[in-house]
Structure 1
Amino acid sequence: MARGGINKALVTRAHQAVLARGENPSIDAIRIELGNTGSKSTIHRYLKELEEEASTRLDDEALLSQPIKDLIARLASRLQEEAHGIVEESKSRYEHQIKELSDRCTALTQEAGQLGDQQKVLESRLDETSAQLAAKSAACDALDKQLNEAGQREASTTALLKEKQAHIESLEEKHRHSREALEHYRESVKEQRDQDQRRHEQQIQQLQAEIRTLNQTISVKQGDLTQLNKDNARLVSELGAARKATQDLESKLNRTDAKLEDANKQLQTQTTDLQQYADSAQRQASQIDELTQRLESAQSKVQDFTVSQAKLETELSVKNDMIERLMAEKRRQHDKPAT
């Protein structure tokens, strides 16, 4: 049982009253006419029953008079014009929104293309930096090889220097022994100076010649030692310069790694922004589809409203005509016994 004690008869009278005022007999209008009583589901059920009854009676077109048909045609035409105006306005508004969203999608697509170009440029720069890094790494390897070779030459030179130093010391030892032998010989032959003067002088000359030879040999060896010391100093200087160049290359390599890391971070940020733009474009495309569906739904509702309005107007006219016919029949029946 419906709330508020409403029934089909009350709903029927409220429906006719609303139609008589020229208003749309919606569920809310019927409920207001009933004094804001009754549930909407019950009112809707009764209105549906009335509509079915009216559609059953409307099958007989002979019940409709020509003025009613003209009125229905005018009302239908007016309703179509108003509905068409509403639809055109909604369509224009939705088309404007769709155009704005389409322009936005186009702008986002262009921006995505620009970001793609920037990404390609960054990738090209990254490839160039990688090539430079590989070249610098090869240069570092070459420098390490040169340093190893210099170290080997330094070790070889040091060994040679030690060998020459040992040879010089050996010559000096021989020279000292020669001097000692000479002094011993002088002392030994001093007593025989008179007898062996000539032989002694010859021996002295021979010894002096040997001494000169030994002195010349010592001078040559000292020159070689000086040259070896100079070569050693030059090699030490080259080794320091090579180490400094290696440090500079390592510093440049560290700076290049930092730049590569910054470029990778920037590329990741731009990729994230591009993904966000793509997601936004997808959401806007979904909104466009939703607006299109809403437009189609609104158009369908307008058509349903037009048909429902025509049925209700026809039902009103038919009911009024039936009421007049029933009243006329009742008057005839009332007048007949009196006659």
Structure 2
Amino acid sequence: MARGGINKALVLKAREEVLKKGQNPSIDTIRIALGNTGSKSTIHRYLKELEEESAIRMDDAALLSQPIKELITRLASGLREEAQSIVGKQTEKFEEQLQDLRAKNSELAQALDALNKKHTTQLETLERVEIEVEHKNAALHKSETNAAVLKQSESKLTALLNEKQTQIQSLEEKHHHSREALDHYRQSVKEQRDQDQRRHEQQMQQLQGENHILNQTLSVKQTEITQLNKDNSRLISDLGATQKVARSLESTKERLERQVKTLTAIEQSLNTELQDYRKQSESWSSERAIFKKELSEQLSWQQEATVKLAKLEAEVVVKSGIIEQLLVRRR
């Protein structure tokens, strides 16, 4: 039973209207003429009945001669075979295209999965590198702090060393003055003794009287010399201790300079590693952008392939409908 009030008479009327317009009386054109009502299966059934009735009328001997009937039969058979051949070729071509598209779709899916895995791996690697860079930055900051502290200590030690060197220089000057005073005194005593010796013969008696005074004076001078020698020894001892402290400070300074050089080398190495990590991060960022671009292109291509596949399927459906109509009309 026809749905929506469609019957055979309405289908016949719509078919005649379509034929008057010079159009092919297909199921779709008939349905449009009917106001887009009625199911296609019902319209197809009524069209088939109308074509059978028309064929019966065409078989009427009063209307057609036998040669015309045979010609129509041969034409119908040829059209049917040609239509079946076309349908077979189109079906095979469509199946090949469909298989190719499915294979390409599978390859694209696999490539997309591989790219997703690669993207995930690169993200994880980038996160690890960022963490390592943060650790390196922290270590570098700590090294810079330690270097600053060591430089400050070195400055203090340098100031202390300069102070000690000043003290050493002052002690050396005092020691030099003391030696000059002692030498001057010894020279003066020697000259005095020479003069006394020269006057000895002439002033023996006077010297005998003054001998006691001279002995006392000599004793005093000897005491002063002893004291000067003690002071000189003490100054030499102080100078040795000061020089020892200076050597210790020099050693400490050299050790600190080596530590500063070591920390400077470590800092340069960390800076180099940091630059390498930054370059690697920039390279990964560039690869990530390229990957996103490739992924976008692959997705666009896949969408285009999907649209093309849908168009081919629609085209096959349309061609199948046309071929089916041709077969229905030629039966």
Q: Counterparts of 1:141 and 1:183 in 2: how far apart (Å)?
A: 63
Which of the residues 134, 139, 164 maps onto 1:128? 139
Report matched runs for 1:246-261 at 5 Å. 246-261=256-271
Q: Residue 268 in 1 paired to residue 278 in 2? A: yes
Aligned to 1:114: 125
Q: 1:19-45 CA distances to partner (integer Å, 9 max, x unpaired)?
A: xxxxxxxxxxxxxxxxxxxxxxxxxxx
Q: Residue 65 in 1 paired to residue 48 in 2? A: yes
Q: Residue 234 in 1 paired to residue 247 in 2? A: no
Q: Residue 156 in 1 paired to residue 167 in 2? A: yes
Q: 1:202-230 CA distances to partner (integer Å, 9 max, x unpaired)?
A: 31331132122122122113203422442
Aligned to 2:255: 245
Q: Counterparts of 1:275 and 1:141 in 2: how far apart (Å)?
A: 43
Q: Counterparts of 2:207 and 2:326 in 1: how far apart (Å)?
A: 175
Displacement of 1:291: 0.8
Aligned to 2:105: 94
Aligned to 2:299: 288
Report matched runs for 1:1-339 at 5 Å. 52-55=23-26, 59=33, 64-66=47-49, 90=101, 94=105, 97-181=108-192, 184=195, 194=205, 197=208, 199-231=209-241, 233-235=243-245, 237-238=247-248, 240-242=250-252, 244-271=254-281, 272-315=283-326, 317-318=328-329, 320=330
Contact 1:54 1:315 in 2 (8 A): no
SS in 2 for 1:65: helix
Aligned AA for 2:48?
S
Q: 1:103-131 CA distances to partner (integer Å, 9 max, x unpaired)?
A: 43134213321232123113312320332
Distance change in 2, residues 1:265/1:99 (3 Å): same
Aligned AA for 1:216?
T
Displacement of 1:151: 2.3
Aligned AA for 2:316?
F
Distance change in 2, residues 1:190/1:289 (3 Å): same
Gaps of 5+ in 1: 1-49, 322-339
Q: Counterparts of 1:257 and 1:68 in 2: how far apart (Å)?
A: 96
Displacement of 1:139: 0.9
SS in 2 for 1:260: helix
Aligned AA for 1:122?
V
Distance change in 2, residues 1:64/1:221 (3 Å): same
Q: Counterparts of 2:262 and 2:271 in 1: how far apart (Å)?
A: 14
SS in 2 for 1:136: helix
Contact 2:168 2:242 in 1 (8 A): yes
Contact 1:171 1:218 in 2 (8 A): yes
Q: 1:24-68 CA distances to partner (integer Å, 9 max, x unpaired)?
A: xxxxxxxxxxxxxxxxxxxxxxxxxx9944455675859722497
Displacement of 1:302: 0.9
Displacement of 1:306: 0.8
Aligned AA for 2:324?
E
Distance change in 2, residues 1:241/1:309 (3 Å): same
Deviates more, 1:186-195 or 1:110-119: 186-195
Q: Counterparts of 2:127 and 2:118 in 1: how far apart (Å)?
A: 14
Deviates more, 1:250-259 or 1:104-113: 250-259
Gaps of 5+ in 2: 1-20, 35-42, 53-79
Identity of aligned residues (%): 10
Deviates more, 1:53-62 or 1:306-315: 53-62
Q: Counterparts of 2:46 and 2:143 in 1: how far apart (Å)?
A: 97
Contact 1:150 1:239 in 2 (8 A): yes
Displacement of 1:281: 4.2
Q: Counterparts of 1:124 and 1:130 in 2: how far apart (Å)?
A: 10
Deviates more, 1:299-308 or 1:183-192: 183-192
Q: 1:253-291 CA distances to partner (integer Å, 9 max, x unpaired)?
A: 453244224313431342103431442244124313421
Aligned AA for 1:148?
A
Q: How many equivalent residue pairs? A: 263
TM-score when normalising by structure 2 = 0.62
Q: 1:66-89 CA distances to partner (integer Å, 9 max, x unpaired)?
A: 4979x9xxx9xx999x98998698
